Amino acid sequence: MERYFDSELKELKEKILNMSAMVEEAMNNSLKAFMERKETIAQQVIDNDKVIDMLELEIDDLCIRILALYQPQAGDLRFIAATMKINNDLERMADIAVNISERALDLLKVPPVELHGDIYKMAKCTQKMLRDCIEALVTSDTELAQAVCRRDDEVDDYYAKLFKELLAVMHDDNTTIERSLDLIHVSKALERIADHATNICEDVIYMVEGKVIKHHKEE
How far apart are the C-alpha atoms of 194 and 57, rounded to whole Å?
Answer: 23
- The residue ranges of every structural domain in the chain are 2-209
Shortest CA distance to 197 belongs to which of 93, 110, 125, 104? Answer: 93
CA–CA separation, 14 and 195 (whole Å): 24
The model's pTM is: 0.88
Residue 37 φ then ψ, to 5°? 55, 55
**What pLDDT, on a 0 to 100 scale, did the predictor assign at position 116?**
60
pLDDT digits (tens, 9 = 90+) for 142-195: 999 999 999 999 999 999 999 998 899 899 988 888 888 988 999 999 999 999
Report d(CA 60, CA 54) in Å as an integer.
Answer: 10
Supply the pLDDT for residue 174. 87
82 and 204 Cβ atoms separated by less than 8 Å: yes
pLDDT digits (tens, 9 = 90+) for 21-64: 999 999 999 999 998 899 999 999 999 999 999 999 999 999 99
d(CA 86, CA 94): 12
Vertex 102: Cα angle to 135 and 161 (nearest 5): 70
Tell which CATH classification among 3.40.1410.10, 3.30.1330.80, 1.20.58.220, 3.40.50.2300 matches the domain 2-209. Answer: 1.20.58.220
Q: Provide CB contacts within 8 A for 164, sequence distance 6+.
A: none
